[in-house]
Chain A
Amino acid sequence: MEESDNQLLDRYAAGEEPAFEELVRRHQRTIYDLAYRMLENHADATDLAQRTFVQAFLHLRSFRRESSFRTWLFQIGLNLCRNAIRDRGRRTHENVEDLQLAASSDIFEAAAEAEVRDRLGSAIRKLPERQREALVLRVYHNHAFAEIGAIMSCSEGTAKANYHHAVNKLRQVLVGKESNL
């Protein structure tokens, strides 16, 4: 039977180094996936995923086990993502509405499915921060809304609202695009 995260954390705290590696291996793909979906390139995602684990183990004493270790990693990872995105100065002057205007231009009239996917990616990037986080956590990591709320430090209702707004904005972008085809 597989050990729980908390059992591994106990072993790590007792000085058993293999427990450290097992914990990282267990969650590395998930955290990398989160980072990649938020930052959208391998180098940044790798950097951020590593820093997420470093911060987690560095401040392990502050993990009170009120949530799962996985949720805690997501909290740290998302905070680092926010900082990284702000540092980059991304999304400061753009928003989804700009994209919708672009959708009506002739430039995109010959769009194919691949382009729609690209547009979807662009639209995701331009979502407000909280909406994008809720979207990523829900669609790609299958978190329940209560858990998304815990990760994002908000209520379950707020998490749902952020997610619904995100999906509706993306729908508007795609509908606006496809109506021009």
Chain B
Amino acid sequence: MTCSDIRNMTVPYLELDLEAERVRQVTVHLETCHNCRSEMESVRQVLVRLKGRVVPDPGQRFWTEFPGQVREGLVHAKAGAPGPVTGQVRPYGVGSSWWSWAAAASVIILVGAWLLVGGQLFSTPDSDLTRTSSTPTIEASNTGRDSELPNLAETDWDRTWDEDDPEVLVDIAARLDPLTVDRLFKDI
């Protein structure tokens, strides 16, 4: 067995990944060859130093909270939204608050916009979109898409309004132009 052969088997030898006969041959060679012994020792040093490199433990709290973060990310991923996987583990619930508020506000704004614009679009063909006196009509939902739309006539608006967070409504109102506010809230 030559020194070149030994060099090719240095790592497998140290990894105990050689057949017994090969191990014996390498061992015999090492006993008589200083160069190969040095080579073997340098590789062993590399492996020892590699093994000695540790990953800092982020702590018990991190591990405790980790499954919750995964679950949160999974929920967002299933919803098709970018998950809140930010690289920082946060306590349960805390991380979701911003997303929850943003989602809720978006939904309310969209519903408001639908009531406003959709009501106009589905009203009579000659309806004037700029006419400020027209209210978002309940009759609008009765023109063609009844089966797809909720029955607005039967909606208990007083109860619906009461359930909304006033701060959210104020926030929505602040985003609307005065004419729209007038149309939406003049009867309230």
Contacts and interface: CB of A to CB of B under 8 A. Distances in A.
B56 interface: yes
Interface in B1-48: 11-12, 15, 17, 42-43, 45-47
A58 B74 contact: yes
Q: Which interface class (under 10, 10 to 19, 20 to 34, 35 or more) fits B?
A: 20 to 34
Nearest to A36: B55
A21 B46 contact: no
A91 interface: no
The SS class assigned to the B binding surface is helix
Contacts of B43: 167-168, 171
Contacts of A107: none
A116 B66 contact: no
Given A36-B55, A117-B49, A20 B71 contact: yes
B74 A167 contact: no
Interface in A10-36: 20-21, 24-25, 28-29, 32-33, 36
Given A20-B67, A20-B71, A174 B42 contact: yes
Contacts of B85: 47, 50-51, 54
Given A116-B49, A121-B53, A170-B50, A54 B77 contact: yes
B42 A175 contact: yes
Nearest to B43: A171
Nearest to A40: B55
B87 interface: yes
Interface string B59-78: 00011001101110110011
Nearest to A42: B58
A164 B78 CA distance: 41
B136 interface: no
A52 to B, nearest CB: 9
B53 A120 contact: yes
Contacts of B77: 54-55, 58
Interface string B118-134: 00000000000000000
A139 B47 contact: yes
B87 A174 contact: no
Given A29-B63, A32-B66, A174-B49, 7 more contacts: A32-B58, A46-B89, A50-B73, A53-B70, A54-B77, A120-B50, A164-B12
14 contacts: A24-B66, A24-B67, A29-B63, A46-B89, A47-B85, A53-B73, A54-B73, A54-B77, A57-B70, A124-B50, A140-B51, A163-B11, A168-B11, A170-B46
